[in-house]
């Protein structure tokens, strides 16, 4: 990493970001063409893996079949940091990039468990059988569940420091796109 002051090597910090991250972006490649896909996911510390789901057919699946090496990123956007020099503006952020191999989970029971774990992460207050119907076997058969076996990860963070004049929230889309 070029700017060592941004680097995070604390595995606990990295794991916490992976656990709380809202979504991740997976990067695959086919021949010489990179391809990125935003996904919802879970991190499991027990086997040091990222799990996500997608379609059984499509470009992501084809790319993973062609080359299982992937990169996966989770980021949190913070505040805009202003500076006297426009080229020194920055943002606060937290970021983790994971490198590893993606594999399709073939075992339907394991796939079903992962899908239920995704529901627990993204809808923790909802109950299966009360708020939504249980996952059906035919739904599992048409859903691809993937595991990224983590081989390496890097953490990166930018925090506010005295050299910045001010920090402020990034304006919402509604405020940025108002007609004049």
User: Where does the pLDDT of residue 167 fall: very low under 50, low under 70, confident under 90, or very high at 90 and above?
Assistant: confident
- The whole-model pTM stands at 0.87
Query: Given a cut of 90, is residue 173 above it in pLDDT?
Result: no
At 143, list the tokens. 């859903």
Question: Could you give the domains of the chain?
Answer: 4-77+94-157 (2.30.110.10)
Q: What are phi and psi of 25, to 5 degrees?
A: -125, 125
How many CA within 13 A on the CB side of residue 80? 9
Q: Residue 79 above 90 pLDDT?
A: no
102-154 residue pLDDT tens = 999 999 999 999 999 999 999 999 999 999 999 998 888 899 999 999 999 99
- The answer to whether residue 4 scores a pLDDT higher than 80 is no
Contacts of 67 (CB under 8 A, 6+ apart): 28, 29, 30
Residues in the chain: 180
């Amino acid at each position: 990493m070029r700017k060592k002051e941004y680097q995070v090597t604390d595995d606990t910090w990295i794991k916490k970001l992976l656990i709380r991250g809202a979504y991740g972006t997976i990067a695959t490649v086919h021949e010489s063409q990179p391809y990125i896909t935003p996904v919802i996911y879970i991190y499991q510390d027990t086997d040091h893996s990222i799990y996500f789901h997608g379609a059984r057919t499509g470009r992501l699946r084809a790319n993973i079949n062609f080359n299982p090496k992937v990169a996966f990123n989770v980021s949190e956007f913070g505040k805009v940091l202003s500076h006297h020099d426009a080229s020194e503006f920055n943002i606060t952020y937290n970021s983790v990039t994971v490198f590893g191999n993606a594999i399709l989970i073939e075992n339907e029971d394991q796939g079903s468990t992962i899908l239920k774990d995704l529901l627990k992460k993204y809808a923790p207050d909802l109950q299966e059988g009360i708020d939504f119907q249980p996952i059906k076997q035919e739904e599992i058969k048409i859903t691809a569940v993937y595991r990224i076996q983590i081989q390496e990860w890097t953490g990166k963070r930018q925090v506010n420091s005295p050299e910045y004049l001010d920090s402020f929230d990034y304006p919402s889309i509604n405020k940025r796109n108002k007609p004049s």
